[in-house]
């Protein structure tokens, strides 16, 4: 089995060619089918692609230290502008000289625009100007505009900042999606009028819902602006794996070859493999960290719910070949299950470390398979093994991402 790429190698350490005003220096190093192996640089170092960004919503990857995140092989993390964007929090970040210094993460950071969270709020109002909402009930209403989102992201200081856009529901009708897309494009042009810090790079977001012709139109409009990179948004919003694949497989090949491509909010290991296979480079998702806190861990043989009874007396590590502190440290599945039911934070830390290691190992395995021009063969082997254990009888799971802390069954 060649899923596991073997021992982790340190950064190749090429000298950083990044200089202000000269983009991200994306290099396409190899291709295998549509899958791309590349790298790009920010002021804060190299990002090897295909890449996975752990999510540090509130300026922390929950339960783990920044150095532990780095030790998994992550080159970049994501922080959420909505969660860090209240006046009090932005001032706190500024007092520390930016997110990098405050979070103690001296590598690349990406912030989203805040739009995704604001659009999910129940009582928001969309106008040409922006979106009116309240941070919490009882607060005065705030209007998040493209300019305000850029200003917040400028003050947070991430290396990559995302355009302010509307992420439409997957069930939205063509007429609404088309009008929304036009507005998102007008907002994008307004985003580009805001001066960012010199180390920051603005990525437009390709929207268009499930309508492929609108996706094509969005690519054409965004590419005309010659941005340092491009993102595909509006997927992983409940449309399902097949619809996500359809949109990404249509859209990715339309994007410029010489710029990094970011698929927002994706996903499960099989989604990442499909995305890389379609030619995407950068990914983020709360799944590895959120699932870990809920007791679900990922392995090359599929995912495991450690709260299941079958692990009660299990003295093996999650994956005996894994190099993470949980597995290499000898912490057993039975012990992790106990920590989960006892509500002990150590369990969440260990399972988060394992899942983050697994996700980075998965990306490294894909990078290696592309370098060896055997991505499709690797993908078949991965899927065969990953899904082989799926017929297990005790995986009575709630919908993805909605599992709560186990209350009984100890």
Give the binding site for Zn ion (CB under 5 A): 322, 324, 326-327, 354
Tell me which of 159, 165, 281, 284 is the catalytic residue.
Answer: 284
How far does Cα 15 stand from its chain's mean position?
26
Q: Where are the beta strands (DSSP E) in 142-186?
A: 142-144, 160-162
How far does Cα 197 stand from its chain's mean position?
23
How do the residues of the chain divide into helix, strand and coil, expressed in percent and rounded to 5?
Answer: 40, 15, 45
Cβ atoms within 10 A of the Cβ of 186, count?
Answer: 11
Q: Is 407 exposed, middle or buried (0-12, 13-18, 19+ CB in 10 A)?
A: exposed
Residue closer to Zn ion (CB basis): 130 or 325: 325
In a 3-state reduction of DSSP, which class is residue 316?
Answer: coil
The pairing of beta strand 125-126 with beta strand 131-133: antiparallel
CB 178 within 8 A of CB 130: no
In a 3-state reduction of DSSP, which class is residue 306?
Answer: coil
Cβ atoms within 10 A of the Cβ of 115, count?
Answer: 25
Cα first-last separation, the chain:
35
Least distance in angstroms from the C-beta of 351 to Zn ion: 9
Is the peptide bond preceding residue 50 cis, with omega within 30 degrees of 0? Answer: yes
Structure token pair of residue 280 = 């995407």
Residue 409 falls in the annotated catalytic set:
no
Cβ atoms within 10 A of the Cβ of 130, count?
Answer: 22
What whole-number distance in Å separates Cα of residue 298 and Cα of residue 386?
Answer: 9
The pairing of beta strand 51-53 with beta strand 282-284: parallel
Largest CA distance in the chain: 60
What whole-number distance in Å separates Cα of residue 199 and Cα of residue 154?
Answer: 10
In a 3-state reduction of DSSP, which class is residue 36?
Answer: strand
Structure token pair of residue 47 = 């990002």
Give the H or E element holding residue 184.
Answer: helix 174-191
Tell me which of 71, 75, 112, 165 is the catalytic residue.
Answer: 112
Strand partners, 291: none
Give the H or E element holding residue 304.
Answer: strand 302-305
What whole-number distance in Å separates Cα of residue 49 and Cα of residue 36?
Answer: 8
CB 268 within 8 A of CB 297: no
Residue 226 falls in the annotated catalytic set:
no
- Residues acting as catalytic residues: 112, 284
């Amino acid at each position: 089995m060649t899923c596991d790429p073997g021992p982790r190698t340190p950064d190749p350490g090429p000298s950083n060619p990044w200089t202000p005003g000269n983009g991200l220096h994306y290099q396409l190093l190899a291709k295998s089918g549509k899958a791309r192996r590349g790298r790009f640089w920010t002021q804060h170092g190299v990002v090897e692609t295909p890449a996975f960004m752990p999510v540090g919503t509130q300026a922390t990857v929950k339960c783990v230290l920044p150095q532990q995140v780095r030790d998994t092989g992550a080159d970049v993390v994501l922080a959420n502008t909505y969660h860090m964007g209240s006046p009090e929090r932005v001032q706190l970040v500024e007092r520390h000289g930016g997110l990098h210094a405050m979070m103690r993460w001296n590598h690349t950071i990406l912030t989203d625009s805040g739009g995704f969270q604001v659009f999910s709020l129940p009582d928001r109002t969309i106008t040409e100007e922006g979106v009116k909402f309240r941070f919490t009930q009882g607060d005065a209403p705030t209007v998040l505009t493209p300019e305000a989102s850029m200003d917040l992201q400028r003050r947070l200081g991430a290396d990559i900042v995302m355009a302010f856009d509307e992420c439409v529901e997957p069930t939205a009708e063509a007429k609404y999606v088309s009008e929304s897309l036009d507005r998102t494009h007008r907002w994008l042009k307004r985003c580009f009028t805001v001066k960012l810090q010199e180390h920051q790079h603005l990525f437009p977001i390709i929207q268009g819902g499930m309508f492929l012709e609108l996706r094509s139109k969005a690519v054409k409009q965004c590419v005309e602006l010659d941005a340092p990179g491009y993102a595909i948004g509006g997927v992983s919003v409940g449309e399902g794996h097949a619809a996500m694949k359809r949109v990404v497989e249509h859209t990715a090949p339309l994007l410029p070859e010489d710029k990094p491509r970011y698929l927002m909010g994706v996903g499960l290991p099989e989604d990442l493999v499909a995305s890389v296979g379609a030619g995407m480079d950068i990914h983020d998702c709360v799944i590895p960290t959120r699932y870990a806190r809920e007791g679900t861990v990922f392995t090359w043989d599929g995912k495991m719910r450690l709260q299941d009874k079958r692990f009660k007396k299990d003295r093996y590590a999650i994956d005996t070949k894994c190099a993470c502190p949980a597995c290499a440290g000898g912490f057993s599945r039975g012990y992790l299950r106990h920590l989960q039911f006892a509500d002990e934070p150590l369990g969440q830390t260990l399972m988060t470390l394992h899942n983050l290691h697994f996700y980075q190992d998965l990306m490294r395995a894909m990078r290696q398979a592309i370098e060896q021009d055997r991505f499709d063969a690797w993908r078949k082997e991965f899927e065969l093994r990953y899904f082989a254990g799926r017929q297990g009888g005790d995986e009575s799971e709630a919908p993805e991402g909605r599992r709560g802390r186990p209350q009984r069954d100890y």
